[in-house]
Amino acid sequence: MDEVKEKWSDQEKVRQEKVAQLRARGVDLFPYKFSKTHSVHEIVAQFGSKSREELEAENIRVRVPGRIMTIRRMGRATFFHIANSQARLQAYIREDVVGPESYELFDLFDIGDLVGLEGSLFRTKTGELTVLVEKFLLLAKCFHPLPEKWHGLQDVELRYRRRYLDLIMNAEVAQIFFLRSRLIALIRKFFDDRGYIEVETPMMHPIPGGAAARPFKTFHNALGLELYLRIAPELYLKRLVVGGLEKVYEINRNFRNEGISSEHNPEFTMLEFYEAYSDYYDLMELTEELLVYLADNLLGRRELKYGDEIISLERPFARIKFREALLQYSGLSPARFDQPQEVIAVAKNFSPEKEGLTYGKALDIIFDKCVKPHLVQPTFVLNPPREISPLAKASRDNPEEAERFELIMAGMEIANAFTELNDPVDQRARFEQQAEARKRGDEEAHWLDLDYIQALEYGLPPTGGEGIGIDRLTMLFANRRSIREVILFPLLRPK
């Protein structure tokens, strides 16, 4: 404790002196409960439109908790503001109302303290809705001064490390997460209303599968079993479709042992859904319906402001073939795409860390680097190489292509969908090709999952399946350019 005291700033030492005085007066710094009539935002919402005369006539009494955000002491009267994550409310305490002893006690309260107030509502001469405090209670003492609004919490990484301070100081940050919560609730309603059932599948897999990604490893001591945090729920969800659950969806975490960027966090939230007797054309229609539904209900309009761009969600969304997009945006001539080794060399320049590159993987890298940034408006990119889509059926028009699409918006992949491969013989051959790729150094290649093959042998009906990244979707609807802004506690390197 003495070590801690040495590290206290002058302001923190003053606060500790107040703590000692409060305790000497018998004040409980951390009481068990406060019975409230309203939250701060409820008072603002319910009574914010009432006039001075209406408030006086109705004598509205409240018991409201909040965090002190400002204090303006004026002799025997003090104005201060309390806040929660959704609103701020002024309070007014007078010595002649609460009594000299209580008013003196309030001098020991600081910005950052949590308090409970009891009193009546009125409007000041300037028209501000205010609580005239008759009684007050300390609910939690804040030992540290809060950062200054404009100067004390500018370090972006500090905001993520101490998200609680970010939420206290920046009301707009809390709004991002209220929006995210509403978005997820609306997604659930959308699928529930269409006859889907929500399911939960394992987070630890004996064989990682369902996506091209490196997994995190863990170990189950009792079973002596090496396990992997899931990179995708896909193979388990399709097992459920085999079992007769014709419409399923899951919203949960995936874990991928990959780099961190403005679009990537190793732990992220994914929506995946599967519908029997459908294909990727059906999913394009459903995806458009979903995004329009979200826009209508979250924003009340069918366009998103994202940075300097205005993104229209009016249907239909644009559609372009993967190869056509490469020819249009990559800057490479058509002739160069017919030279596999040259394509691989170009891709290697973009991603020198990638091992065992094939022609298809190289095309995918060039697409990511050269094409995606040009696709701002919602665009379905169709039929990438079959080689990089081992869980998708071959295109019915070209067997070298996959019956798959990615939805790109604002230069980001938002959705990825297949007409699911349901031939167990073909699927095994694809897995074996992926195993060869792993031997060549491709750590993201799929593993051979014989249990999944066996499930397919019992019959997976024609099925469409899709994954949508919740974090990136929230980025679009909240107009945030970094995935860290929409994840409460993004992964950071330890200090």
Cis peptide leading into residue 316 (ω within 30°): yes
Q: Let me know: does 207 contact 234? Beta carbons within 8 Å.
A: no
Please state the separation of Cα 351 from the chain's center in Å.
27
Q: How far apart are CA 196 and CA 188, in angstroms?
A: 9
Q: How far apart are CA 465 and CA 238, in angstroms?
A: 9
Task: Give long-range contacts, CB 8 A cutoff, 24+ apart: 227-233.
Answer: 228/204, 229/203, 229/204, 229/205, 229/255, 230/201, 230/202, 230/203, 230/204, 230/205, 230/254, 230/255, 231/255, 231/256, 232/270, 232/272, 232/467, 233/201, 233/270, 233/272
Largest distance between two CA atoms of the chain: 88
Q: Let me know: does 303 contact 312? Beta carbons within 8 Å.
A: yes
Q: Let me know: does 60 contact 121? Beta carbons within 8 Å.
A: yes
Q: Which two structure tokens, joined as six digits, stand for 160? A: 């993520």
What pLDDT score was predicted for residue 4?
Answer: 53
Residue by residue, pLDDT tens for the chain (495 residues) are 455 556 889 999 999 999 999 999 999 999 999 999 999 999 999 999 999 999 999 999 999 999 999 999 999 999 999 999 999 999 999 999 999 999 999 999 999 999 999 999 999 999 999 999 999 999 999 999 998 764 556 678 888 999 999 999 998 999 999 999 999 999 999 999 999 999 999 999 999 999 988 999 999 999 999 999 999 999 999 999 999 999 999 999 999 998 889 999 999 999 999 999 999 999 999 999 999 999 999 999 999 999 999 999 999 999 999 999 999 999 888 988 889 999 999 999 998 888 778 999 999 999 999 999 999 999 999 999 999 999 999 999 999 999 999 999 999 999 999 999 999 999 999 999 998 888 888 888 899 999 999 999 999 999 999 999 999 999 999 999 999 999 999 999 887
Structure pTM?
0.93
Domains in the chain with CATH codes: 10-146 (2.40.50.140), 169-317+377-485 (3.30.930.10)
Residue whose C-alpha is closest to residue 474's, from 200, 182, 216: 182
The number of beta carbons lying within 10 Å of the beta carbon of residue 471 is 21
Three-state DSSP class for 267? strand
Q: At what angle do helices 322-329 and 359-366 cross, to 10 degrees?
A: 60
What pLDDT score was predicted for residue 462?
Answer: 98
DSSP state of 205: E
Cβ neighbours of residue 236 closer than 8 Å, sequence gap 6 or more: 201, 202, 210
Phi/psi for 208 (5° steps) reads -70, 135
Q: How far apart are CA 75 and CA 486, in angstroms?
A: 44
Decide the pairing of beta strands 114-123 and 77-83.
unpaired
Decide the pairing of beta strands 247-255 and 197-198.
parallel
Q: Let me know: does 202 contact 253? Beta carbons within 8 Å.
A: no
Residue whose C-alpha is closest to residue 299's, from 312, 308, 309: 312
The region that residue 383 occupies, defined by phi over 0 for left and psi between -120 and 50 for alpha, beta otherwise, is: left
What pLDDT score was predicted for residue 154?
Answer: 64
| Token pair 């303006």: residue | 72
Full DSSP string of 370-431: IIGGG--S-EEEE--BGGG-TTBPBPSS-TTBBSEEEEEETTEEEEEEEEB---HHHHHHHH
Q: Which two structure tokens, joined as six digits, stand for 425? A: 């013989």
Q: How far apart are CA 262 and CA 4, in angstroms?
A: 36
